[in-house]
Amino acid sequence: MTSLSNDHSILIDIQKSTFNRILAVIYLVIWIATILANPLTGGNSKQFMLLGAVVIVICGVTFGLSHRHFRLAVYILIWGLWGCVAAATQNLSQPVVYYFFATVVLFATSLMRLWSQVVLALASTAFILLFAPSEITFGAALFLWISLITSYVVSHGLLQTLDITHHYQSYAVEQMKKARDQRGEIARMAAALKLSQENQHRLNIQLRYALNSAEEARRLKAQFAANVSHELRTPINLIVGFSEVMATAPEAYGGPPPPAYRPDIQAIYRNATHLQSLISDILDISQIEAAQLAIVKEETDPHQVIDEAIRIAQGLIQGKKLELRLDVPSQLPAVCLDRTRVRQVMLTLLTNAVRFSDKGRITLRARVDEREITVSIQDTGMGIPKEQLDRVFEEFYQVESNLSRKRGGTGLGLALSRQFITQHGGRMWAESEGIPGKGSTFYFTLPLTESTLFTAHPSPYQPVDENQARQVIIWENDPAIVQMFRGYITQHTVHAAQSLRDVHTLLKSTHPLAVICDTYADVTALQQQVASVSPEITLITCPMPSGRQAARMMGLVDCLVKPVTRQQIFAALQGIEQPIQRVMIAAGERDMLRMYSRFFQTAPENYTVGTALTGMDALAMMRTDPPDVILLDFSLPDMDGFTMLEYLKSTPVLDKIPVIVVSDGSTTNTILPLVKGEIVLRKAGGFQPMELVRCIEAISGQLIPPSVLKS
């Protein structure tokens, strides 16, 4: 985007327009002055008429010359007018004519450069000093320079204003071009989807809709991601659940599977688990802004991540009869990374290398220096043109789209991969000569250390090092809440404690910056433990947005979100104090019922399991034979889960039976508003003034404004 001051052509256009207006003003003034010649000239009308004719001739000549040699025309006009004013001072007995030099200077400020204006002003001043009567010399010279300075200041301010206007106009034009490009792309997509059945009115609606604000576009994308993810929860839960039972508890099927089946079952379970983690990523996309996915870092051996990615991609590589070469040092330092995200990056690069290579080899290398680990994946495929190397990381962009469609792919993998690596503090780029057979190489780096600025407050207690100061402890037994804190607290390491004893152990070993717990926890006991270690440690109590806590407030044992595992169900059962023998499972899908039944078959206790496909069948069976616990899947066909809970509470025989709820996530969001409370910050040693102000400022900056204010 060019600046107006740097765009010579625009300045010339402005000066040409000003030039023509000055000529028009001069013509008008000359004709008016001609009519009033006698009173103005004091009897020297002939000389005045001659000077007026000269001025008109100069104006006519410069007007014709301005179309081909504008600068020359400007200099002829300005110096010609200057000469006419000088001649008028000598031929007309009017001292006031000397003040007309200021008018010429004013014209010059609109048409000439600054140095030319100064030369003109100096020449005018010299002429005034030499020839003007003494009584007006100072006034005329002063008026001339005041006019020059004032005109320069005004014109300079005007140019700055025009510069800003030009900047925003260029920006608006650029945005209009982008909008037009997006509109055209959506038009092509609509035509492909609707074929010839879409009429022009429908197309215009689609185009107008596509021009909504970026915030609306993000909302729709998030809603789409959430809907798709919720639809995938049940099938992926079935795949993971059954494959987990087959892989880890084959006795539920009467005995171990044949040896030839075991590697395949393990592969199904491993890949299904990976797919389940990717679905969780899609849910994260639907819940956050700025396209920043939550990452959970932990100390990890890079060899493990590389091996996992290769095992998953091994089938693709062997299917195309490609050679896989590894050039990885035997010793790699542990890296603080999100195992799932980095593995996904490697899988994306390996899959792309396989997809665009018909023969040859794929080489995976790893190198270590003092600051980072660099991983590269090289193929011998078609390569990427150099001018497209940067664009391959754009969302939905594909190199040679026709070929990309044949080979598969959505154009999102590389964009998400670069985002993951950037969140780890690394870099990602590609190199290629664009020659088929030489392929391309994709690189990414992972930093070995993370630098964080930490400011210590004066304290009589022994200071802690920087790594310790970046620790926080969360006392919470809901894994979803711990995962949320670990994913979104990026500047501190989060340690989880499930009991007061765990908190005490972590306080001794980590000396954290803060301890976080639920409002409903034993705050008094926790406060005593924290104060015994150091009064400088802050205790934060707040209502945890836990589906489990909300479920307990509703009288439920737990609220599990799909996909659920048998470990989660067994953990929920352990929270029930009374003995359990009979279990009732109510779910709206036969496959889910079979999976839940398989889970209970693998339990260490022997349970008697009853199943029902509808809520009414389950109620009828439970009235006859009340169970010890109910596993209620909210996917009932004849009633929603909340209605089922109301039936249970209103039935005297069933109202005391513990209930474990399984839902697709929407149920948890519905009952979360039941969890209410206060956020309280405590520190035995007290807060320093600026520390308190910054805490309040940080919290206030993240609060959502109230939607309705009471008058």
Do 160 and 60 have their domain in common?
Answer: yes
Shared domain check, 483 and 504 = yes
Q: Is residue 206 part of a domain?
A: no
User: Considering the domain boundaries, does residue 197 fall inside one?
Assistant: no
Q: Assess if residue 270 is contained within a domain.
A: yes
Which residues on adjacent β-strands are paired with residue 608?
A: 582
Neighbour count for residue 480 (Cβ, 10 Å): 16
The letter for the amino acid at 25 is V
Could you tell me if 20 and 153 lie in one domain? yes
Average pLDDT on 50-61 reads: 78
- Kindly report the CATH number assigned to the domain that includes residue 575: 3.40.50.2300
Does pLDDT of 185 surpass 60? yes
Q: How many domains in the chain?
A: 5
Q: So what's the pLDDT on residue 399?
A: 64
- Same structural domain for residues 537 and 552? no
Does residue 453 carry a pLDDT above 50?
no
The reply to whether 170 falls in a domain is: no
Q: Does the residue 192 lie in any domain?
A: no
Q: How far is CA 402 from CA 1, 334, 397, 399, in A?
A: 33, 42, 12, 9
Average pLDDT of the residues in 141-146: 80
The verdict on 31 and 106 lying in the same domain is: yes
CATH number for 379: 3.30.565.10
- Is the domain of 397 the same as that of 502? no
Q: Are residues 258 and 387 in the same domain?
A: no
- Give 302's pLDDT tier (boundaries 50, 70, 90): very high
**What's the whole-model pTM score?**
0.45
Which percentage of the chain shows pLDDT scores above 70?
A: 80
Specify whether 398 is located in the same domain as 474. Answer: no
Residue 622 in any domain: the answer is yes
Q: In terms of C-beta density within 10 A (0-12 exposed, 13-18 middle, 19 or more buried), how is residue 176 classed?
A: exposed
Q: How far apart, in whole angstroms, are the C-alpha atoms of residue 440 and residue 434?
A: 8
Q: At 608, is the secondary structure helix, strand, or coil?
A: strand
Same domain? 145 vs 244: no
**Residue 19 domain-assigned?**
yes
Percent of the chain residues topping a pLDDT of 90: 11
pLDDT tens digit string along 243-276?
A: 888 887 777 777 778 887 778 888 888 788 777 7
Q: At residue 446, does pLDDT exceed 90?
A: yes
Band (36; pLDDT cuts 50, 70, 90): low
Among the residue ranges 299-308, 565-574, 585-594, 662-671, the one predicted with the least confidence is: 662-671
pLDDT at 198: 67
Pair 552, 662 in one domain: yes
300 or 664, greater pLDDT: 300
Q: What is the mean pLDDT of the chain?
A: 78
Answer yes or no: do 519 and 585 share one domain. no
Q: Is the pLDDT of residue 39 over 80?
A: no
Distance CA 488, CA 295 (A): 7
Core vs surface per residue 540-563: b (16+ CB within 10 A) or e: bbebbbbbbbbbbeeebbbbbbbb
At 218, list the tokens: 């993000």
- Which residues form the domain of 138? 4-165
Clarify whether residues 388 and 282 are in a common domain.
Answer: no
- Give bridge partners of residue 430 from the DSSP assignment: 442
Contact status, residue 179 vs residue 208, Cβ threshold 8 Å: no
Token pair recorded at residue 309: 């990615």
What is the maximal distance between C-alpha atoms in the chain?
A: 130
For residue 461, give the 3-state DSSP assignment.
Answer: coil
**Lowest mean per-residue pLDDT among 3-17, 232-246, 373-387:** 3-17
Give the DSSP H or E segment for 488. helix 479-488
Question: Which residues neighbour 636 within 8 Å (Cβ) at sequence distance 6 or greater?
Answer: 586, 587, 588, 614, 615, 644
> What confidence category does residue 214 fall into, taking pLDDT thresholds of 50, 70 and 90?
low
From 133, 165, 197, the end of a domain falls on: 165
Residue 184 domain-assigned (yes or no): no
What strands lie across the sheet with 471-475, from one edge to the other?
Answer: 493-497, 471-475, 514-518, 538-542, 680-682
Contact 526, 506 (CB under 8 A): no
At 405 the pLDDT is 44
Domain boundary, last residue among 287, 318, 333: 287
Which residues neighbour 190 within 8 Å (Cβ) at sequence distance 6 or greater? Answer: 198, 202, 203, 206
